[in-house]
Amino acid sequence: MPDISNKFIVVTVTHDETRIWATGIGKGQRPERIFAPDKTNHHHFRTDAKHSNAAADSQTASYYEEIAASIAGAAEILLIGHGHGKASSMLHLIQYLERKHPQTAHKIIDALDENLVALTEPQILSIARSWVEAHPRSD
């Protein structure tokens, strides 16, 4: 991952992948990728409604820890995600950062809800550039 110390970064997060644009949001920029652990080989037999899945929770925590470590040095973070309520990986990440890494959570300057599965990387960057134009910052 490139050095992101004191930089504005764009992060997209879904349940299976996070992309981090750490080198800028210009046309043609490529993101770094963090993949969630593969949960396809995990078998879960639920015996009651209060039963928790410790293995899956541990995998999710390790995924969010890797994301947190990758974005901790940024000055400002624009999050883009999709989903609503319990299905929103972006919301889960924000909540995780607020609990475990509040110093990183405070760097989130906005969180946009977009249909990431329907967007190409150039379209995501265009959304980020439009956001930056609408929210001028003093650098």
Name the nearest CA neighbour of 63 among 104, 103, 24, 33. Answer: 33
CB 12 within 8 A of CB 80: yes
Domain ranges of the chain: 8-36+55-134
- Model pTM score: 0.85
Give the three-state DSSP class for 79.
strand
The neighbour count for residue 16, using CB atoms within 10 Å, is: 12
Instruction: Report percent pLDDT > 70 for the chain.
Output: 85
58-79 tens-digit pLDDT: 788 999 999 999 999 999 999 9
Lookup: tokens for 8: 């504005």
What integer pLDDT is reported at residue 57 of this predicted model? 72
Residue ranges in the chain modelled with pLDDT below 70: 1, 39-56, 138-139
Q: According to the CATH classification, is domain 8-36+55-134 in 3.30.420.60? A: yes
Q: What is the DSSP letter of 37?
A: P
| Rounded CA separation 110/51 (Å) | 34
